[in-house]
Every structure is written in structure tokens, then in C-alpha cells.
Amino acid sequence: MKIITSISEMKQHMTEIKRNGKTVGFIPTMGFLHEGHISLANRAVSENDFTVLSIFVNPTQFGLGEDLDRYPRDFAHDCSLSETAGVDVLFAPTVSDMYPNEYSTFVEVEKISSVLCGASRAGHFKGVATVVNKLFHICLPDRAYFGQKDYQQVQVIRRMVSDLNMDITIVSCPIVREQDGLAMSSRNTYLSTEERKQALILHQSLAFAQELVGTGERNAVKLIGEITTLIQTSPLADIEYVAVADVNTLKAVESIQGKVLLALAVRFGKTRLIDNIVLEV
């Protein structure tokens, strides 16, 4: 596995790969890799001639007071996991190469970026869309792989790629969970033992929602009420939102018909966790 840190070297390398007619799979990450990321890498390796995984803790997607400074990092372990997964190039650019002085261009996906996580994390999806747009131009993927845990992120990227006529297939992969059900996230490392235990209420509440819908519940407000009540049985859980939304536009829906997204954001202490499920009736 080759490790590249310079943007210009990476562009040159990938231009050559594309010139040779190879298909490229790409997994953009912020590092501190876990099995969720590796599932994306495995899929990319199986579907493409060449696989790139990027590691970049992107400052423009963190708001003031968020966890940019303490975001977990373990580059050596990330290298080892990536190599084992069959990644061909690990791309790890520096902040000053990605955002040089006088940097001033931002990509904004309006509407869909302002709901759910976007409502509390101002500018977050603008930072995400911008960095992914840059990484796409540098890494020249045919297919890019994202985890469905960040459901809204995937929809924002899909919208950007479609709106800006980029020739990239966005592949959304299932959430990978710990054995006890907690959705894998680099941020799980922040949780205390007690918080970690109580955080199980997230996936339990998704399972409960599925059960309620299975027994006939079609009213989104009632469903949200039931889920909220359940989550509140965990004393450390501080709910940011429980939402039932259209799977494409992410607009709130009143009635559960066809496929709808149930999405949660809940804080445990300083740690903000998200989880979601697509309900189908």
C-alpha cells in the first residue's frame, strides 16, 4: 500500500491510474478506522480495480466548540487496517495543503443540509460537501463509499454529485454495529463505561420503532413520542432530535407510508451519537 500526503502527487498518481483505464473506488474518512470503515473498503476493493482510502480530519466541518481538537487519531493502526483490507493508496493530505492561505471556495447543498443534524451543526454539511468535492477532484473515483450511519451526509453528497453533474456513483453501505448493537463510530471512544452502557438505548429504540410500525403505527408524531419516552428512560441521554423524514428530501413526514427514515441524535455527556433506520411498510 502506498501512502501519499501531497495533493499534487496524488493527482498525478490518480491521473495515471485512470489513463490506464482502471476503475477507482474511494472511501473518504476522518481516520481512527473501525469495522464500519473497513466494510466500505472491502466493498470498494471487491468492486473496483483500484482502491483509495483518504484520512483527513476536516476542520471546515467542525463548528465552534465541537470536538475538532480532540478528535481521535491513530495513523499507524489506520495504515495497518487499510493495508489488510486491500487498499492501494492511503491518501492523508495536510490541512495547509487542503486549505491554503486565501482559500475561499465552498460548496453548499441547500435545503437538505439545514434539517436534522444540519439544524444544530451550522455549516457542518457545507464543510462536508466542500471537502468531499475536493477529494473527488483529487482522487478521481468512479465509485465512492459511505456508511449509512451518516444517512444525511450520504444524501447531501448524492445531491451534490447529481446537481454538479459529477460522474461518480455514490454507494451507501449498511450500518456496522458492535455485538451489543451500538452503531460503530470513531466517537464511541469518548464514552465512559456508564455512557457506553446507556447508549444502547439508541439501537433499542430503533428496534422498538420497527416493532410499533410492524403492529400498525402510521402516525409519525405518535412514533416520535414513543421513541422519545423510551430514550428518556436512560438518565444520561440528552435528546437532540428524533425525526421521521422522507428518505430522499429528509423533510419531516406526518404519516409512515412506503419507506421513511427514522433518525436520532442523542448526547451522552459531551458525546453526540447518531443512529437511524429506514422503516418500510
**Interface with a second copy (CB under 8 A):** 7, 11, 15, 102-112, 129-130, 133-134, 137-138, 159-160, 163-167, 249
Whole-number minimum distance, CB 180 to a second copy, in Å?
A: 38
**Shortest Å, Cβ 161 to a second copy:** 9
Taking the C-alpha atoms of residue 276 and residue 239, their distance in angstroms, rounded to an integer, is: 14
Residues pairing with 170 in the sheet: 144
> Which residues have CB under 8 Å from 253's CB, separation 6+?
220, 244, 245, 246, 260
Nearer residue to a second copy within complex by CB, 43 or 126: 126
Q: Which is nearer to a second copy, 6 or 210 (CB)?
A: 6
Residue found by looking up cell 483518504 in the block: 54
In the residue annotation, 13 being an active-site residue is answered as no
Judge whether 55 and 91 are in contact, CB under 8 Å: yes
144's enclosing H/E stretch is: strand 143-147
Question: Considering the complex, what minimum distance in angstroms separates the CB of residue 182 from a second copy?
Answer: 33
Shortest Å, Cβ 128 to a second copy: 12
The DSSP line for 205-247 is: HHHHHHHHHHTT--BHHHHHHHHHHHHTTSTTEEEEEEEEEET
Smallest CA-to-CA distance from 155 within 116, 194, 193, 99 is with: 116
Nearer to a second copy among residue 103 and residue 269 (C-beta): 103
Among residues 13, 34, 37, 77, the one annotated as catalytic is 37
Distance between CA 271 and CA 2 in Å, rounded?
34
Nearer to a second copy, 161 or 175 (CB): 161
| 176 sits in which H/E element | none
Minimum distance, C-beta of residue 73 to a second copy, in the bound complex (Å) = 23
Cβ 131 to a second copy shortest distance, Å: 10
**Residue 20 vs 179, nearer CB to a second copy:** 20
Residue number with CB closer to a second copy (46 or 249): 249
Q: How many Cα atoms within 13 Å fall on the side-chain side of residue 258?
A: 6
Question: Cell 485512470 belongs to which residue?
Answer: 18
Residues 6+ apart with CB under 8 A from 132: 28, 144, 157, 160
CA distance 10 to 172: 25
Residues that are catalytic: 37
